[in-house]
Amino acid sequence: MVLKNYLKYFAKLFFKKKIDLSFKNLSCFFLVGLLTTNIYFYSEGSYYTPLKKIFHKDIEIQKNEDFIKEIINNFIVDLEKNQENKLAEAIYNERSKTENMIKEIINNFNTGLKKDQENKLAEIIYKESIRYGHDPLLIVAIISTESSFNNWAKSKKGAKGLMQILPVTAQEIAKETNINWKNDNALYNPFINIRMGSYYLSKLNLIFEDIDLALEAYNRGPSKISHMMKKGKIFHKRYSRKVLSFYTTLKEGDYKET
């Protein structure tokens, strides 16, 4: 009922032209994600998707206007047909616009991936970002900072892949997210790596309740950040500032110059 009322309220604002579908608007970011992705919410120790309950089937990533209209029709029953079509089109276009922007950013880097894998990266970044409650451009900023989109990157400490995840951390994430873990080479699967990294950042954000601290914990390790905080030590937030600075640049549309 809360979600249904929220969507009705959003629709009213949209048609009164008091709100647009820009990802600078957090409410719109949530709505676009909800209506175009198999989004998950955390409840009572496990992830679930409310959309499964509506359609009684697993819903993969969707970029189809008819699919969006179907969801709108389930939630917002008092829209006129032309309004329903207009809202669905706007939501669809916003998602496509964001994915195209991510593709342009990726084209500035040498990923080391096959072309078919590289072409899917923007969709996967979008999907996993929304799944775990992030703006896709924040995940892009992290990947750019961590690996410069080099899929085969490996740090001196052994972190691997696009989001530079340590194997020991990856094993824990695999257990928590039911990802089939065979060996460290799984981190060179870009789709698994992005899912793990997006989940891990979300987990850290829940722990520290601050995106700056969550990013520092992502970079240095949560135990180290927690220890420094307990000791009252002042530490520089170089990593988070670098990521968030690039994120701001992307949000402002200056990514071609980075």
The CATH number corresponding to 115-258 among 1.10.530.10, 1.10.606.20, 1.10.620.20, 3.40.50.300 equals 1.10.530.10
pLDDT confidence of residue 55: 34
Give ∠ CA 21-23-24 in degrees, rounded to 5: 105
User: Using 50, 70 and 90 to split pLDDT, how confident is the model at 116?
Assistant: confident
For helices 211-220 and 222-230, angle between their N-to-C axes, nearest 10 degrees: 120
Confidence of residue 254 (pLDDT cuts 50, 70, 90): low
Alpha helices in the chain (DSSP H): 2-15, 26-36, 50-55, 65-75, 81-106, 115-131, 136-147, 167-177, 190-208, 211-220, 222-230, 238-251
Q: How far apart are CA 113 and CA 233, in angstroms?
A: 41
- Predicted local distance difference test score (pLDDT) of residue 141: 96
pTM of structure: 0.73
DSSP per-residue codes, 205-243: HHHHS-HHHHHHHHHH-HHHHHHHHHTT-----HHHHHH
Kind of pairing, strands 41-43 and 46-48? antiparallel
Ranges of each domain in the chain: 1-106, 115-258
Per-residue confidence (pLDDT) for residue 31, from 0 to 100: 56
Task: With H, G, I as helix, E, B as strand and everything else as coil, classify residue 42.
Answer: strand
What is the tens place of the pLDDT at every residue in 33-77? Answer: 555 554 333 333 333 333 333 333 333 434 455 655 655 555 554
